[in-house]
Amino acid sequence: MRTVLVLMDTLRREALSCYNPETIVKTPNIDAFAKEATVFDRHWIGSAPCMPARRDILTGRLNFLERSWGPIEPFDITLPKVLRDHDVYTHITTDHCHYMRTGGEGYLQQFNTWDYHRGQEGDPWISRIDEPDNMPETFYGRVRRQYQLNRTQWPNEEDMPSPKTFASACEWLEDNKGDDDFFLMVEAFDPHEPFDVPDKYMDLYGGNTGLDRDYYEIPQYKRVSEAGVPESAVDYVQRRYAALVTMTDHWFGTLINKLKELDMYEDTMVVMTTDHGYFLGERDYLGKNYMHLYNELAHLPLIIKFPHGERAGEHVQQITQNIDMMPTILDFMGIEIPDSVQGVSLKPLAQDPQAKTKDYAIFGYHGMAVNLSDGHHTYLRAPKPENQPCYEYTAFPTTIRRVLGVECPEKIEMGRYFKRTQYPLFRIPITKPGIIDQSDEPLKEVLETKLFDICADYGQTKNLAGVDSELEARYIELLSQALDAYDAPQEQKERLGIQ
Ordered DSSP codes for 335-390: -PPPTT--S---HHHHH-TT----S-EEEE-TTS-EEEE-SSEEEEEPPPTT--S-
CB neighbour class for 94 (10 Å; exposed up to 12, middle 13-18, buried from 19): buried
One-letter identity of residue 452: F
pLDDT of residue 439: 83
pLDDT of residue 437: 79
Eight-state DSSP code of residue 132: P
Give pLDDT tens digits along the chain (499 positions): 999 999 999 999 999 999 999 999 999 999 999 999 999 999 999 999 999 999 999 999 999 999 999 999 999 999 999 999 999 999 999 999 999 999 999 999 999 999 999 999 999 999 999 999 999 999 999 999 999 999 999 999 999 999 999 999 999 999 999 899 999 999 999 999 999 999 999 999 999 999 999 999 999 999 999 999 999 999 999 999 999 999 999 999 999 999 999 999 999 999 999 999 999 999 999 999 999 999 999 999 999 999 999 999 999 999 999 999 999 999 999 999 999 999 999 999 999 999 999 999 999 999 999 999 999 999 999 999 999 999 999 999 999 999 999 999 999 999 999 999 999 999 999 999 988 877 888 999 999 999 999 999 999 999 999 999 999 999 999 999 999 999 999 999 999 999 7
CA distances from 320 to 20, 136, 252, 346 (A): 19, 43, 23, 8
Phi-psi label, residue 115: left if phi above 0, alpha if psi -120 to 50, beta otherwise: beta
CB 101 within 8 A of CB 176: no
pLDDT of residue 245: 99
Question: Do 237 and 220 fall within a single domain?
Answer: yes
Of 358, 391, 422, which residue constitutes the final position of a domain?
358
Question: Do 398 and 306 fall within a single domain?
Answer: no
Question: Do 40 and 82 fall within a single domain?
Answer: yes
CB 272 within 8 A of CB 186: no
Say what the pTM is.
0.98
Question: Do 93 and 185 fall within a single domain?
Answer: yes
The C-alpha atoms of residue 387 and residue 394 are separated, in whole angstroms, by: 20
The C-alpha atoms of residue 294 and residue 365 are separated, in whole angstroms, by: 12
pLDDT of residue 261: 98
Q: Which of 435, 432, 466 is nearest to 449 (CA)?
A: 466
The C-alpha atoms of residue 80 and residue 89 are separated, in whole angstroms, by: 8
The C-alpha atoms of residue 10 and residue 262 are separated, in whole angstroms, by: 30
The C-alpha atoms of residue 366 and residue 158 are separated, in whole angstroms, by: 37
Three-class DSSP category at 29: helix
Question: Do 354 and 366 fall within a single domain?
Answer: no
Question: Do 147 and 276 fall within a single domain?
Answer: yes
Q: What total number of domains does the chain contain?
A: 2
Q: Which of 315, 162, 324 is nearest to 245 (CA)?
A: 162
The C-alpha atoms of residue 303 and residue 282 are separated, in whole angstroms, by: 25
Buried b (16+ CB within 10 A) or exposed e, 251-275: bbbebbebbeeeebbeebbbbbbbb
Question: Do 335 and 370 fall within a single domain?
Answer: no
Question: Do 181 and 305 fall within a single domain?
Answer: yes
Of 312, 334, 358, which residue constitutes the final position of a domain?
358
Question: Which residues, in sequence order, are bridge partners of residue 270?
Answer: 4, 305
CB neighbour class for 369 (10 Å; exposed up to 12, middle 13-18, buried from 19): buried
Question: Do 327 and 374 fall within a single domain?
Answer: no
CB 324 within 8 A of CB 350: no
pLDDT of residue 227: 95
Eight-state DSSP code of residue 201: H
Of 302, 329, 358, which residue constitutes the final position of a domain?
358
Half-sphere exposure (Cβ direction) of 127: Cα atoms closer than 13 Å: 0
Question: Do 427 and 289 fall within a single domain?
Answer: no
Question: Do 337 and 380 fall within a single domain?
Answer: no
Q: Which of 45, 118, 93 is nearest to 278 (CA)?
A: 45
CA distances from 165 to 33, 123, 252, 453 (A): 19, 15, 10, 40
CB 338 within 8 A of CB 380: no
The C-alpha atoms of residue 335 and residue 83 are separated, in whole angstroms, by: 8
pLDDT of residue 457: 98
Domain that holds residue 456: 362-496
Q: Could you tell me the CATH number of the domain that includes residue 40?
A: 3.40.720.10
Question: Do 371 and 298 fall within a single domain?
Answer: no
